[in-house]
Amino acid sequence: MKKKYVLFGSSILSMALLLGACGENEEMENAPDADTAQSEFGFQAFDLDIDTAEHKDAIDASFDIDVSETEAEYENKLESKKLAGDEAYEALKPIFKDLALTKDMNKEETIEKVSKAFGVEDYTEFELEIEFSDGDTQEFSDSK
């Protein structure tokens, strides 16, 4: 009888470990390599949060590429979008290409370009952190 419980317990533990290992992986299969994305966009990490009067976190976009993996997430509550992985990257790619951000842009110009690109010019809170291709990190924030 005791063997039965040990075997049953081991089976449950094995299944739990197996199911945990099969969780959703947001690493992208069709991810660009680091050099391609950095030359395309001019940055290797992008983290944006925009709040509006109607929605907290109306826009939440993040993109991070390094040598071993690329991660992307994009939530736009104004358009009822919540994407991760390849889908998020494909949605963000045209926006990033049009932005053409450089580290020489001033705060006002950067905020204006980004808020327009994401369709939220009437925001209450704006927070952006960008790591450019050369490793320089800049943060921009504004409240209205």
Q: pLDDT (tens digit, 9 = 90+) per residue, 55-108? A: 999 999 999 987 778 899 999 999 999 999 999 999 999 999 999 899 999 999
120 pLDDT band, cuts 50/70/90, is very high
Res. 7: pLDDT tops 80: no
**pTM across the whole model:** 0.74
Q: What per-residue confidence (pLDDT) applies to 13? A: 43
Distance between CA atoms of residues 1 and 53, nearest Å: 63
User: Domain spans of the chain?
Assistant: 34-143
pLDDT in tens, 8-18: 444 444 444 44
Q: pLDDT tier at 38 (50, 70, 90 boundaries)?
A: low
Task: Please report which confidence band the pLDDT of residue 31 belongs to, taking 50, 70 and 90 as the band edges.
Answer: low
The predicted pLDDT at position 59 comes to 97
Q: Which long-range contacts (CB under 8 A, 24 or more apart) does 78-84 make?
A: 78/52, 78/119, 78/120, 84/24, 84/26
Radius of gyration of the chain (CA): 20
